[in-house]
Structures are given as structure tokens and as C-alpha cells.
Structure 1
Amino acid sequence: MSARDVTPEWDWTAQGRALGVGADGSFNAGLLHLGADPAVIWHREDGSTHRYSGAALMRRAGEIAGVLSALGVGRGDRVAGLISRRPAVFATALAVWRLGAVYVPLFSGFGGDGLRVRLVDSGPKVVVTDPANRANLAAVQDVLPDLRTLMVGGAGEPGDALLDDMINRLNGVPAPVATGLHETSTIMYTSGTTGRPKGCLIPHRAVLSLLPYVRYCLGVGPGDVLFSGADAGWSFGLFTTGLAPMSQGVSRVVYEGPFSAEGWWSCVRAVDAGHVAAAPTAFRQLAAAGAKLVPPGFRAATSAGEPLDAATIDWFDRTVGVVVHDSYGLSELGMVTGNLRHPGAPAVAPGSMGVALPGFEVDLLDPDGSPVRGPGEGRVAVRDNGYFLSAGYWGREDEWAARFADGWFLTEDLARRDEEGRYWYVGRADDVIVSAGYNVGPVEVETVLLEHPLVVDAACVGEPDPVKGQVVAAHIVLADAGTTPRPEDLLRELRTWVGQRVGWHAAPRRLHLHPAIPRTATGKVQRRALREGGNRW
């Protein structure tokens, strides 16, 4: 029996009814049932922990909706959220949706051009922010002079509206606006590894679109405590490991501090979180910190955002007895493949991004656009089932339409399908390195490099070569030379390592050393920066 033969059936209509979708398709995501107590566990930098029930979160969402309404926000208006990791980020999104307005999540690390591009493109009426992010809004004051600022958690600049003060003056909470399941609720900007970020139009159905992932990949339900390292300025933090599992009775942990293995594990221990969801980069750093920090209550882990290397999966399995389940998705689609958790699910194959999730049909297309039959490699395509996470690009309709062919959404990713029906990530279609006629997937080389004891992080790109067209260039971060001696000829060492494990066609011919690999805020390698920057990184 192949891996795909044990995928459970999925009925979108029935699941929608259970979530609260009306027979006429009416649904407002701002009225999600968050029944857990606590629904949110907020672990602050000072070590204190604060718990909020679903009822308390919904009351605060109603109050914020009243404040936004008083500031002139109505149906169709955009409201941006530039908020640190605190419960208010979820309450603000729910409040905006109640008004029939459109929420624009912004990563709390944005500043300068990253913030300016997104705010100018979306044109919000109000931005909700906090003291940690207020100063960054100076980047848009000259181009958005009418933008109102609503402060949560403290004071702001002259002219800012203060949430607590305005709540005290509220005369009542506005009635929720009747919206449809497929009506836009959110503009979520892509992380922008190349080109201008696209604003994905996410409908009120977002939580429903992600329920197959919650049930069968995360495998969480009522009573579970989920620690997510993702910022709610991205879809993985706001929806995938946020409101979607929260709608199923899961308690979501919000960790306020910056990343550190000690900080994360301390939080997991303090709140007794059994499940950790994060990007592969975080799992590699957790593994590097050693097993002594891992709390005994840690029982499950799920990865997404980029491919998780087999070496890291093996470390967690061998050292702490937890198998990390990797998965794959896009802001446009939601999560569409994963290593499943359900009775009869196949064992995790380290390095695989799993099989198609229930409710989704995934295939591979060859360069001519024809389906790849059986095992093979091709471009990942997903059949339009009417429940993708996104329904278009803000102001870029032609670009959205161009992503489809004969009812299939064509991604920019290449994958390999094995005999069992599992998918293995190869790389971006435009990232594949063509060297002397061979196609080299950068992820495959990176995975092997990360298994070398000298290498802490790695990324590969193609560099021009007059003979081979392109050669593999490895950009790496080395382990501390004091604990791991380096050979005299490091390039030769790594070429041999890759050549013997992948093939000599894939062995790096150029080597660049860096203190850190450039990545987006979601952990994706910025290959364009490596190609253009060379040794500057």
C-alpha cells in the first residue's frame, strides 16, 4: 500500500457546516468559536505568563471593533496590524473581520522599505501598533499622511488614538457585519524572496482551508497546547498555527521574546506545551543547542516554510524520541502536503514533504505541462478545489490568472515523487542549477552539506561558468573553529563530501563563507541576494 492510499476522505461542505458556515454561504471569521480556556497563553520576556480564555479574547475583539468603528472603519476598509507577539494581534484581526473590513498583517520586524511598500500598496485607513513598533511608522508618514494610528499596550505619538482610553469611552459594541465565506478578509503579503511582494487576498474561509492540516498534519485538538515560533504577521503564525487550531479547542502559546534555544525551551517547559511548530532553521538551532535543554513534556513537532533536512529529523528522533513532521504550502494555497498523523499513516521518511493533505489534489508537471506519470520530477501543481487559502492578488489580477492552467495552480517549486507517492522538495523552478547539462537541485546539496560536522548552515546557488554554463556555489556558515578543526583545503573536503553522497555533478566548485545566510523573516533562503551579493554576504 502506498502512502497516498491511506489519506482520509474530506468533505468541505460538511466541515464548513461544523465550523458555522450558513446554508447560504454566510460566514464571518470574526465570530469564530474559540472555546478553549485558555485560548492564548502569553509568555513574556520577563518570564511571566498570562492566560486568556476564548471568551475573553472575543470580548476584547468586540471592544477593538467598537474603537475601529469610532475611527471611521467600515466594510471594505483596510486596517493594518503592526503588532508584537502579544494576544492583541489575534483580537485585532477578529475585530477587523467583524466590521467586514480587511486586515493587513505586518511582520513586527518590518521597518523602512519593507513596511513602506506594503502600507502604500494596501492603503489602510488605520494601523494598529504598539510601543515596540511605533517608531517604524515614520517610514510612511510622508506618503500616507491621513493614516490613523491606534496604540495598544502603551502610549504613542501626539495624535495617536489610545486603545484603552477609547474603550473606556465606548457606548457599545457594533453588530457584526454579514459576510460570505469567500469574501476577502485579509491581504497577506508574501515574504518577497524575489520581486515586489504580492498581496494575497485571503477570504473568510481561511480557517476552513487549513483544517485538513490542523487535523492530519499538526494532529492537534481540544486540550492540546501548541507552541508556535511564527509571527502573526505571516499566514503560518496568524492562521495555520494560530486561529485555525484555536478554532478546534487548542491553546496557542505566544512567546514574546526573540529566538534563543534557551528561551524557547524555557517557555515550552513553563506552559507545558506538548507540540512545537516552527521553521526548519529554528529546529536546526534547537538541535545545535543540545538535548539537555529539551523539556520532558515535549512530545510532537511540525515544520514548514522551507525543506527540513533529514539530519535534523534524525537528531530529534534519535536524541529526544520526537519525529518532526515536515509539510509544504504557500500563502496562495495554504498547506497542501505533509507527513500525516492519523491511524494507519505511513512512517515519516526523513527529508520528505509528505503526501497530499485530505481535500487537496497535488500532481507534478513536466516541462511541456504534461502530468508526470508515477515516480519522477516536475513542477508542483495543485487542482483548484475552491478552498485555496487565497483567492487572488491585490491589484494584480492578471498575475493571479497566469498562475492557473486547466484548473491547476502552477507553483514555482519543483519536487520529486517516489514510488510510495511521497513528495520530496527539489527547489524553486528558477533556482535549479544547470551545470554541464545536469539539473542540480540546491536543496539536495544543502541537505548533504548540513550533515557535515563543519557546517552550521548552508545555501547553494548557480554561478556563471564559461565552460559548464553554471557551477554549484556553496554559501556556508562554519562551526566554531575552536571545537571543530578545519582542513587545509575546505572546498576539497566539501566537494568530496557532496560528490560521494549526491554525485560529482552536484559537488560545489566555489565556496563562500558567511557569518549568517541571508533569509526572509519566515526563514526562506534569499538566493537572489546570494547570487547578486557574492562574498558581500
Structure 2
Amino acid sequence: MKTLLKLQILKSLWLPKSRCRLFHKQPRLLASQLFSHDKSARQDELQVPEYFNFASDVLDKWSQLEKDGKRPSNPAFWWVSGEGNEVRWSFEELGFHSKKVANVLSEICGLQKGDRIMLILPKIPEWWLVNVACMRTGIALIQGTSQLTAKDILYRLQASKAKCIIASDTVASAVDSVASHCQFLKTKLIVSEGRRDGWLNFNELYKSQPADHICVKTKIQDPMVIYFTSGTTGSPKMAEHTQGSLGLRPVISERYWLDLTPEDIMWCLSDTGWIVASMGSVLDPWVFGSGVFVHNLPRAESTVILNTLSRFPITAMFAAPTLFRMLVEVPYQDLNSYKFMSLQQCLSGGEPLNPEVTEQWKRKTGLTIREIYGQTETGIICSVFKGMKIKPGSMGKAVPLYDVQIIDENANVLPPGQEGDIALRIKPKRPIGLFSKYIDNPEKTAESERGNFFVTGDRGTRDEDGYFWFLGRSDDIINSSGYRIGPFEVESALLEHPAVAESAVVSSPDPLRGEVVKAFVVLSAAFSSCDLEKLTLELQEHVKKVTAPYKYPRKMEFVQQLPKTITGKIKRHELRNKEWGRK
């Protein structure tokens, strides 16, 4: 039997030559071909291809396998609205629809390879079609969440000089309110059943276009997607990912953060504006030939999520820690009534996952949560691999694409157990998965490098076994009387107490110690009317017992909610600025 998937780039793929020969000698399905692990392979021995396009080199190959009867009948894309509507596409149908959208962009909108499109859509099928259509045309896609305000949209349009925007009714009025300040914006496409003045109707144009489209040739350094960083400090920056750093990365990154087969169904609950949406519900599952499941949830509700996991044959799910924290608050007897007949893998990322949540989820469902760690700029750089021993609170080990180290202020690698900056080695060879640059911001690009490393801005440690431990953002670390305290450890300790639903820990000025730990606490519903003075003392004693005594929060404030970014990350800098009287 001949090799089932012959990527045109296979011979020059970023793999050791010995592995390329192995694939020709032992034909396998795509996932098996691309993910057999050779631990002896070093990055400096790998060869990077000149050209790569995810649509033609991966998606269209799976489509051909379907036609040849060499892929199971799993849908490649499975969308449900929650109101009875459902869409199921094979890879062949995904190709058909995305080629029509590619013609809308190139023939109707006049966009060319290298142009930029801003996409602001919720979790509807058109979001996936535009993603693939941009791959086919070589257009750089700028992702945005539907929670963006008019001010956010104006900033992103002016910074990116996008020629086209594709949006839903939800944000159309916000776009119209700022469009006059964006003379470079030539075309507005609305995804709606109705019409809107000044906008072209996406659905009408789609219906009129043929499904014949020749995919452009793209080099691995060509821009693919632009993400605006979440902006927990300062204005968001444009992080550019290329066809190589985002598209080729999952082809060569092997079975580490995600371990799937063509029989699997993956549900990623990330918002469409976040890089994990691209990795968890577009690129990485489709490399394996797996199905992508989508539930168009207007808001996260425990019962809806649990019912979905019980009703559909979802085998893998990714969710942010906030969602898992919400799910474990469901009473045991209620959670136990849901039967996840297919679910095998649970993954979490975006922020550190508190050990208490992991333990509760395991106790209540029997399932393990594997943590991943990464950033907009890096993609996933650490993960708890499938089958790996879990150390509660650790974000796992470095994925093979990256040489991850803990370094000091002089870029010296620190020994195990010492706190420092989490960094990636970028010299003498820059890793393929790392973003290319901050667009139009060479100063910030340069600031992110220290010696031979890209510095993530996060603090952490590594133990003797190679496991990494997150302490906090560099500017979140609290220095009290000479003791350095990471907020995450204190937050995790607080979360173990049943009274605490959420918490955020920051520094607060103190005349004696310079600064002390302050905790902002959101109470669980059952404790909303308790004696706060008594509870404060109880929580302080609890933290002293769970962590080192000097780490307990000397100050505590109870709040209704915590400030968060549009991707759900806690804005600790806002709380810290409030404490220190900064604007």
C-alpha cells in the first residue's frame, strides 16, 4: 500500500532525514506519519521547507483520503446552535465551502495575498470558512472577539490598516461609528440574513460564487494570522504569526499537548479571538484528521456544557481554568448524574489551573485535566503530555519544539529550584513556532529578547524532573520584607477554601514592609451573607497552613467580580494600580 498522505513538502519537511525515510518505508495515516517521536532529533538537524500552506497541504489531503475511503465517516466540522440547528461537514465539504469564500475575498473584494482582513464573528460556521479561505488566498487574518468595543475596533483597524472587515450584526454599529477614521478600509462584509447600508452581504455573495479555486503558494515566512495581545499591561501589540509558526507548527509538533486520531471529536471552548481557538479548533485537530465540535454558546453555563458533553461523542475538550472552576462548583450529586460516555481528554490553559480544581474534577468525574502553558507569541511551549505523571500545580514539561529555560537578568540559565524568567532559546536557530515580530514595533520586539533567549515575561521555576512551575507575571511578583511571593500560589490556597469562588492577589503599599500581599476575593454564593471580619481571619489562617506563613494576605477586600480581559484573564495590573494610586 502506498503512503496514504503525501504532503508535497514531506521530503523537505522540518524533520530529520531518517524520519522521512521511515515514513516511506512504513506507510501510515497522517497522524501516525507525522507524529512518531524520535527523541534523538535535535532542532538544528531539522530542515525547514520553503513553501507550506495548511489548506492545500493538510486539509485538501484529508479531503482526498475521504474520497478514497481511507478516513472514518466522522465529520470534520460539527456545529450546533443550541436551538436545534446543526451543521456537519466532511473535509470535502469544508473544501467546497471555503473555496467559495476564497472567491468572495479575491474576486468580489479584490483582496490579494498579503492584504489584511479583520474578522469579528462569534462561534458560527462562517468563522471557520473565513479562516480556511484566508489560508487559500494568502490573506493575513486579524482575529477579534465579539466583545470588542468601538474604541477597541478603531485601535485595531488603525494599527493594522486592514482593507476589509467581516463582522456580525452584534458589532456592525460599532464598526460604522469608527469607519470614517479608517480611510484604508475598503470593504465591509456582514454575516447576516438581512442587509445593512454600506455593507456587502456575506451570505448572498457566497451563494453566487463557484467552488473552483486554486490555492496560492505561500512561503513559510509569509504572514498568516495577526493577534492583538490581550493587553494586561499597556496597549495591545500586533503579534504576527506566519505560515510556518502557526500553520506548519502543528504538523511537526507531535503528540504532546494534543493526542488525537481521525476517530476523535475535539471541543475547544475558547473564544474566537484567542490564539487557542486557532490551535484547538482549527489547526491542531485537523492535522490529525479529527473532527472539530462547536457549540455556539452565548454564555458559559454549567448545565449546558455538561449536557453537551453527555449528549455528543466528544472525546477531547479544552477549556480555560475559569470554566473548570465553574464546573467543579456543581454539587457532586448533580455532577455525578452526567455521564460522559466518550470524553477521554480534558485540557486547560490560558491561566494557571489551581491544584484544588484539578483534584475536585478528578474526584467528581474520574477524569484528569492536563495543563498547557503558552502565549500569543509562542503558542504552546509546555504541557502535561498524555500519560505523563501529573504534579499538581505544574504546567508540565517543555514541548520538543522549544528549548525552555529559567534564566536570570543576565540571560544565564538557572539551576533547578531557582526562581527566574521563563524563556525560550532563539539563538543560534529561532524555533519554528515562535511569532515573527511585533508589527511596526521593533522596540518591543527587541525588548522581548535577552541574550540568546525570548523572554515570556512570566516568572517560574523548574524542578529536577524538568517540570515547570508558574509563579506569575514578572510585574505581578510581590516583594515583602525581602520575601518574593508569587500571586498564583496564594490564589490557589484561597481557592481551596469553600468560601472562595475567585481571587486575585496583588501587592499593596505598607510603611513597614514596603509592600504586602492583598487579596481581592469573590465569595461563593453560600457565603455571601457571612461575617466578613471573621471570614477574613479564617482565610488568612487557611493560607498560612496551606503555604508558607509569610505568604498570607495581610489585606483582604471582598468584591462582586474581578476585572478581566476579553479573553478572561484577570487584570491584576488594574487592581495593583488601584492599590498604589496609579492611573
Q: TM-score, normalised by structure 1?
A: 0.91
Partner Cα distance (1:534, 1:487) in 2: 20
Partner Cα distance (1:398, 1:227) in 2: 38
Matched, 1:445 2:490: yes
The 1:130/1:498 distance shift into structure 2, 3 A limit, reads: same
The 1:27/1:491 distance shift into structure 2, 3 A limit, reads: same
Aligned match of 2:171 in 133, 138, 145? Answer: 133
1:167 maps to a residue whose letter is Y
What residue number does 2:339 align with? 295
Identity of paired residues, percent?
28
> 1:223 Cα shift?
1.1
Q: Which moved more, 1:320-329 or 1:486-495?
A: 486-495
> 1:130 Cα shift?
2.2
Matched, 1:383 2:425: yes
Q: How does 1:62-461 map to 2 (within 5 A)?
A: 62-69=99-106, 70-145=108-183, 146-170=185-209, 173-205=212-244, 206-211=246-251, 215-257=255-297, 258-290=299-331, 291-292=335-336, 294-297=338-341, 298-341=343-386, 345-384=387-426, 385-461=430-506
Partner Cα distance (2:483, 2:546) in 1: 16
1:521 maps to a residue whose letter is I
Partner Cα distance (1:188, 1:351) in 2: 28
> 1:267 Cα shift?
2.1
Partner Cα distance (1:213, 1:457) in 2: 34
Q: Which moved more, 1:478-487 or 1:515-524?
A: 478-487
Answer yes or no: is the 8 Å Cα contact 1:212–1:357 preserved in 2: no
> 1:286 Cα shift?
0.9
Where 1:59 maps in the other structure, the secondary structure is: helix
Answer yes or no: is the 8 Å Cα contact 1:41–1:271 preserved in 2: no
Where 1:242 maps in the other structure, the secondary structure is: helix
> 1:138 Cα shift?
2.8
> 1:397 Cα shift?
2.1
> 1:356 Cα shift?
0.6
Answer yes or no: is the 8 Å Cα contact 1:210–1:389 preserved in 2: no
What residue number does 1:6 align with? none
- Provide Cα deviations, 1:400-444, integer angstroms capped at 9, x if missing partner: 122223331111001111222211100011110011111000001
> 1:523 Cα shift?
2.3
- Provide Cα deviations, 1:290-309, integer angstroms capped at 9, x if missing partner: 32364322322001101000
Q: Which moved more, 1:481-490 or 1:236-245?
A: 481-490
> 1:484 Cα shift?
8.4
**Paired residues, number:** 522
Q: How does 1:476-487 map to 2 (within 5 A)?
A: 476-481=521-526, 485-486=530-531
Where 1:132 maps in the other structure, the secondary structure is: helix
Aligned match of 1:52 in 67, 89, 108? Answer: 89
> 1:273 Cα shift?
0.7
Aligned-residue Cα RMSD (Å) equals 2.5
Answer yes or no: is the 8 Å Cα contact 2:120–2:146 preserved in 1: yes
> 1:379 Cα shift?
0.5
Where 1:31 maps in the other structure, the secondary structure is: helix
The 1:142/1:454 distance shift into structure 2, 3 A limit, reads: same
Point out where structure 1 has 5 or more consecutive residues left out of the alignment.
1-10
> 1:154 Cα shift?
2.1
> 1:135 Cα shift?
2.6
Point out where structure 2 has 5 or more consecutive residues left out of the alignment.
1-12, 24-32, 35-45, 63-70
Where 1:249 maps in the other structure, the secondary structure is: coil
Answer yes or no: is the 8 Å Cα contact 1:214–1:244 preserved in 2: no
Where 2:255 maps in the other structure, the secondary structure is: helix
2:425 maps to a residue whose letter is R
Matched, 1:506 2:545: no
The 1:170/1:299 distance shift into structure 2, 3 A limit, reads: closer
The 1:167/1:524 distance shift into structure 2, 3 A limit, reads: closer
Answer yes or no: is the 8 Å Cα contact 1:40–1:253 preserved in 2: yes
Where 2:550 maps in the other structure, the secondary structure is: helix
Where 1:118 maps in the other structure, the secondary structure is: helix
> 1:214 Cα shift?
6.5
